[in-house]
Amino acid sequence: MVSDDQWRVRLSPAEFRVLRLSGTEAPWSGEYVSTQTRGVYRCRACGAELFSSENKFDSHCGWPSFFAPLAGDAVRYLDDDSRGATRTEVRCASCDSHLGHVFRGEGYPTPTDRRYCINSIALNLEASE
């Protein structure tokens, strides 16, 4: 298990705030909000494969949105009632870093009717050729 001190060495202060302290980057500020680049999105903390560009869609919410993770066991879910309403937090299953939240039933025309609203700073895009 990696200690907070070790994470502080590996991550920038902004990355640490989001990934380890469950922070959120400002809307429309992340590098992957509007990208159309094809590839695999990995956890910025540990490098685990999390999402595919094939499952990314434009939700106009200010953060990268995906309708499903790359694999069913790539992420884990926690109930989050920190903002006065119950939401579902999404974490990396490999290193337990905070990624964002998943929302259901919003009516987006996707196969899952889910929106994984993920912080860009929690991801690294490995572009495909």
Instruction: Enumerate the domain spans of the chain.
Output: 4-127
Clarify whether 46 is annotated catalytic.
Answer: no
pLDDT of 82 over the 80 cut: no
Tell me the residue ranges of DSSP E strands in 1-129: 39-43, 49-52, 56-57, 65-66, 75-80, 87-92, 98-104, 114-118, 123-127
Separation CA 44–CA 41 (nearest Å):
9
Nearest one of 53, 28, 40, 39 to 119, comparing CA atoms = 28
**Does residue 83 carry a pLDDT above 80?**
no
Q: Considering the chain, what is the average pLDDT of its residues?
A: 94
2-15: pLDDT as tens digits: 999 999 999 999 99
What distance lies between CA 43 and its chain's CA centroid?
8
Q: What radius of gyration, in Å, describes the C-alpha atoms of the chain?
A: 14
Q: Does domain 4-127 have CATH number 2.60.40.2480?
A: no
> What is the per-residue pLDDT for 115?
96
pTM above 0.85, yes or no: yes
